[in-house]
């Protein structure tokens, strides 16, 4: 896609100047591994965790749902949130809205094996303005959702963006850290990894404030899997050799429409 050429150019420029949904997994493994997808947020009170196993590359399905697992989350105040199985590997709790600055522990028991992870939910960093930017590179137009905000000083902050175009399912888009712009006024440019956005498209962006290990997971994903057909496995924050991730994040959702005829930003 055109967007990858653009990002490659930007990456080269940065290098020379400084001389930064369903999991895609590598299925070429002999033994099935447990995959846990746990993206918990304060967007609502319904939380969903998917538990599955990898399958052979030759099978017609991407993963095999796991039934009969015991899934629960506890917080640092002693509250326990049990998840009940529904379908297709999804375990659901409909009365759990996490709270910023609290720590949470995930416990998943599958066939006598226990998988654990911990996460502290960061507070949300508000944005000052949201918009759409058009940039032209070598005659091709690229569109980005833009978020401008003041990054809190002397605090490590990590951001993750998911994107939906024209009511499609949300997909991972980008991650950012404030390693090189701590305390500065920041602009994040967000685009779809697989689909070029176009004038007239309606987009919805979910902007998450995540902890360091969740950021590292998705940053590794976007660094090693840029459009490849056989992506690698990012380093999980879940124990016992599981794949996947456990995230408890603060989030807000933004709806935008790409207008026709917008001008490139100076």
* Region 56-78 average pLDDT: 89
Residue with the two structure tokens 């015991």 = 70
* Region 2-19 average pLDDT: 44
Sign for the CA dihedral angle at 118, 123, 162, 147 comes to negative
Q: What is the pLDDT of residue 243?
A: 95
Nearest to 42 by CA among 106, 101, 116, 130: 101
Domains of the chain, CATH where assigned: 2-17+124-233+249-257 (2.60.40), 34-120 (2.60.40.10)
> Can you tell me the distance from the alpha carbon of 35 to that of 27, in angstroms, rounded to the nearest whole number?
12
Nearest to 167 by CA among 255, 45, 50: 255
Residue with the two structure tokens 């399912």 = 169
Cα atoms found within 13 Å of the Cα of residue 147, Cβ hemisphere only: 24
Asked if pLDDT for residue 102 goes beyond 50, the answer is yes
**What percentage of the chain's residues is helix, strand, coil (to nearest 5)?**
10, 45, 45
Cβ(204)–Cβ(254) under 8 Å?
yes
> Can you tell me the distance from the alpha carbon of 209 to that of 248, in angstroms, rounded to the nearest whole number?
9
Q: How confident is the model at residue 132 (pLDDT cuts 50, 70, 90)?
A: very high
Of the spans 17-21, 26-30, 49-53, which averages the highest pLDDT?
A: 49-53
In the beta sheet, which residues pair with residue 133? 144
How many CB atoms lie under 10 A from the CB of residue 8? 11
Give the residue with greater pLDDT, 228 vs 84: 84
Give the residue with greater pLDDT, 38 vs 25: 38
- Tokens linked to 245: 């991730």
Sign for the CA dihedral angle at 178, 181, 183, 186 comes to negative
Q: What is the pLDDT of residue 106?
A: 98
* Region 115-142 average pLDDT: 93
């Amino acid at each position: 896609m055109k967007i990858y050429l653009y990002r490659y150019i930007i990456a080269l420029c940065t290098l020379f100047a400084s001389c930064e949904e369903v999991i895609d997994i590598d299925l070429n493994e002999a033994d099935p591994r447990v995959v846990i997808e746990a993206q918990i947020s304060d967007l609502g009170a319904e939380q969903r965790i998917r538990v599955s196993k990898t399958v052979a590359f030759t099978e017609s399905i991407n993963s095999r749902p796991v039934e009969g697992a015991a899934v629960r989350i506890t917080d640092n105040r002693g509250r326990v949130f049990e998840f009940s199985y529904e379908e297709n590997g999804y375990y659901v709790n409909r009365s759990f809205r996490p709270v910023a600055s609290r720590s949470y522990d995930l416990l998943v028991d599958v066939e006598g094996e226990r998988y654990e992870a911990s996460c502290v939910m960061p507070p949300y960093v508000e944005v000052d303005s949201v918009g759409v930017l058009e940039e032209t590179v070598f005659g091709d137009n690229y569109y980005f959702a833009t978020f401008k905000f003041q990054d809190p000083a002397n605090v490590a902050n990590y951001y993750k963006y998911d994107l939906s175009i024209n009511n499609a399912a949300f997909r991972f888009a980008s991650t950012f850290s404030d390693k090189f712009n701590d305390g500065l006024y920041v602009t994040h440019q967000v685009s779809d990894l697989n689909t070029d956005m176009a004038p007239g498209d309606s987009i919805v962006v979910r902007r998450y404030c995540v902890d360091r290990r969740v950021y590292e997971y998705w940053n590794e994903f976007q660094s090693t899997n840029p459009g490849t057909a056989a992506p690698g496995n990012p380093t999980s924050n879940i124990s016992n050799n599981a794949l996947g991730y456990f995230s408890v994040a603060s989030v807000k959702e933004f709806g935008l429409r790409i207008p026709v005829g917008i001008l490139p930003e100076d």
